[in-house]
Amino acid sequence: MDIPSKEGFLSNIAYDSVIFGFSGNTLKILILEYHNTGFFALPGGFVKIDEDLNDAVKRGLKERTGLDKIFLEQFYTFGKTSRKDSAAMETILKANGFKVDKQSWLLDRFISVAYYALINYEDVSPQPDELSDSINWYPIDELPPLIFGHDEIVKKAIQTLRDNLERKLVGINLLPSKFTMKELQQVHEAILNKKLRRTTFQRKMLGMEILERHEKQFSGKAHKAPYLYSFNKVTSGQQ
């Protein structure tokens, strides 16, 4: 099987997506496993000549998650010469039945434009790409070794998410439309990788005037039922 032609794609430009979800009190990332190689990597792809960069990334995200409306932000461009790994790419291509020419465009060096995406874990049925056997959620502290320098991309994405935690109000995208204060705190703790004082966190969130309080969440258990919250319309419209 011949390698697809590079005609129609921008030369030496790729994108990689760090897709965050939250489940079981844990921040997780979607990771691909390439067919018959034992190699793991972030979802990514190439940009068509007649396609905006953001549209290319959205196309790839829809193919992997099935979702159209996703919070997405470009956060860094990676271009070190050490990121080139022709041997790994050649192994992947051969494992998928492609005839590999040493001059193939897929073995060239690529500049990678990195994005992070925030999605509701419950909304997604992940789909692998044509070179992969699977795509699965991994806790951020239990990631497999990643090829193509993607471990560096993940580290930068996590740091960017932490830096943007309050400015971007990431809980809007990682939580369901209604949530408890405890669930919101758990998202912040998972991202920051540290425990927060409940009273201090609640006072801070309520003081920001970004939340609307709703009915209590009754579970039938003896403990006190917590209130449900949502982000208010003004806040939601800013995301």
pLDDT (tens digit per residue) in 111-145: 999 999 999 998 999 999 999 999 999 999 999 99
Interval 133-185: pLDDT, tens: 999 999 999 999 999 999 999 999 999 999 988 877 788 899 999 999 999 99
- Within 10 angstroms of residue 183's Cβ, the number of other Cβ atoms is 19
* pLDDT the model gives residue 171: 85
Domains of the chain, CATH where assigned = 9-163 (3.90.79.10), 176-237 (1.10.10.10)
Higher pLDDT, 172 or 47: 47
Q: Which residues contact 25 (CB under 8 A, 6 or more apart)?
A: 186, 189, 190
pLDDT band at 84; cut points 50, 70, 90: confident
Helix axes 181-192, 150-163, angle to 10 degrees: 130
Write the CA distances from 63 to 59, 125, 129, 154, integer angstroms.
6, 10, 8, 20
Would you say residue 66 has pLDDT above 70?
yes
- Within 10 angstroms of residue 235's Cβ, the number of other Cβ atoms is 16
* pLDDT the model gives residue 81: 84
Q: Residue 209 — φ and ψ, nearest 5°?
A: 55, 45
Over residues 202-216, the mean pLDDT reads 90
Q: Which of 87-96, 132-141, 225-234 has the lowest mean pLDDT?
A: 225-234
Higher pLDDT, 2 or 206: 206
* pLDDT the model gives residue 117: 96
pLDDT band at 55; cut points 50, 70, 90: very high
* pLDDT the model gives residue 188: 96
Average confidence score pLDDT of the chain? 91
Pick the closest to residue 13 from 70, 67, 51, 62 (CA basis). 51
Pick the closest to residue 67 from 29, 123, 10, 111 (CA basis). 123
Q: Which residues contact 30 (CB under 8 A, 6 or more apart)?
A: 19, 21, 42, 43, 64, 65, 126, 135, 136, 137, 138
- Within 10 angstroms of residue 191's Cβ, the number of other Cβ atoms is 20
Written as six digits, the tokens of 13 are 């430009």
Q: What is the pTM of this model?
A: 0.91
Q: Residue 9 — φ and ψ, nearest 5°?
A: -115, 150
Higher pLDDT, 222 or 140: 140
